[in-house]
Amino acid sequence: MAKSKYEYVRNFETDDTCLRNCYIVVRLDGRNFHKFADQHNFTKPNDDRALGLMSRSARSVMEDLEDIAIAYGQSDEFSFVFKKSTNWFKRRASKLMTHVASQFSSSYVFFWKEYFGEQPLLYPPGFDGRVVLYPSNRNLRDYLSWRQADCHINNLYNTAFWTLVQKGGLSKTQAEERLNGTLSGDKNEILFSEFNLNYNNECALHRKGTTLIWEKVDETSTKKITVPKEGEKEVTFTRTRRKVTAHYCDIIADSFWNEHPDILEEDC
């Protein structure tokens, strides 16, 4: 077919193919969620409805898009790790990132009511996205460790801050002053000695964030079948399915990676 005279405009498109042999990480972060959380009455410091909805939306991304080996989320962010070997959308960064961001955002709205019930969604939320490439397993693990350490630091601070305000009767300014310059150990100590709260016994989802991976799960179901001469009979089927499973554990140390050796590919 003859090309139109306008065809040349295609050449203005830039090549954004991701380098081969690298993990492609897409990280999304809620736009202005400080305000969004306030306006939708998120509980402080952690709102389980909001965290559940983030996780549900991330699962939809993993199920609907190809080649995501692991995802990690905390607060208003989620990181998706595409396999090193993925060739989805010819590894074009803009395609990968926009598909993740739009699937996530539409899922967040689609599943809102399931998590928030009577709390109406007041305006359409948005998420920004970025793409980062990691060439080695060490770099990828350090990236995920960085996000989990961020979760830990923020959650310990927020837990201490809101405990001082909600249970200690301090104003927000007083709580801020009290925590100014404190180290992790000091915050743990305040929680333990003044509020009898052992931070390590707090909810793992809040302390560690959410890790989603693919796992093989056996599913058993029963079915009624009709056998000639014998009549109706109940039989049990077991089939193995790949499912997205959620984990609220440490992903910084080796143990998680040793227990799930399929997530990472060989370094090349």
Q: Which residues bind ligand DGT (CB under 6 A)?
A: 29-34, 37, 42, 44, 46-47, 50-51, 75-76
Contacted entry of Mg ion, ligand DGT, none for residue 210, CB cut-off 5 to 8 Å set by kind: none
Is the CB of 65 or the CB of 151 nearer to ligand DGT?
Answer: 151
**What is the nearest approach in angstroms of ligand DGT to the Cβ of residue 48?**
8
- Note the helical H segments in 13-111: 33-39, 48-64, 93-110
**What is the nearest approach in angstroms of ligand DGT to the Cβ of residue 202?**
14
DSSP for 127-152, please give it. EEEEEEEE-SHHHHHHHHHHHHHHHH
Contacted entry of Mg ion, ligand DGT, none for residue 42, CB cut-off 5 to 8 Å set by kind: ligand DGT
Is the CB of 37 or the CB of 197 nearer to ligand DGT?
Answer: 37
Residues that bind Mg ion (CB under 5 A): 29-30, 33, 75-77
Is the CB of 57 or the CB of 75 nearer to ligand DGT?
Answer: 75
**What is the nearest approach in angstroms of Mg ion to the Cβ of residue 34?**
7
How far apart, in whole angstroms, are the C-alpha atoms of residue 165 and residue 196? 15
Report whether 218 contacts 238 (CB < 8 A). yes
What is the DSSP-derived secondary structure letter of residue 18? P
Is the CB of 44 or the CB of 92 nearer to ligand DGT?
Answer: 44
Contacted entry of ligand DGT, Mg ion, none for residue 189, CB cut-off 5 to 8 Å set by kind: none
**What is the nearest approach in angstroms of ligand DGT to the Cβ of residue 154?**
8
Report whether 212 contacts 62 (CB < 8 A). yes
**What is the nearest approach in angstroms of ligand DGT to the Cβ of residue 51?**
6
Is the CB of 75 or the CB of 188 nearer to ligand DGT?
Answer: 75
Q: How many other CB atoms are found less than 10 A from the CB of residue 258? A: 8
Q: What single-letter amino acid sits at 220? A: T
Report helix, strand and coil shares of the chain as percent, to nearest 5.
Answer: 45, 25, 30
- Say whether 77 sits in a helix, a strand or coil: strand
Q: How many other CB atoms are found less than 10 A from the CB of residue 102? A: 13
Report whether 81 contacts 23 (CB < 8 A). yes
Is the CB of 22 or the CB of 131 nearer to ligand DGT?
Answer: 131
Contacted entry of ligand DGT, Mg ion, none for residue 198, CB cut-off 5 to 8 Å set by kind: none
**What is the nearest approach in angstroms of Mg ion to the Cβ of residue 255?**
27
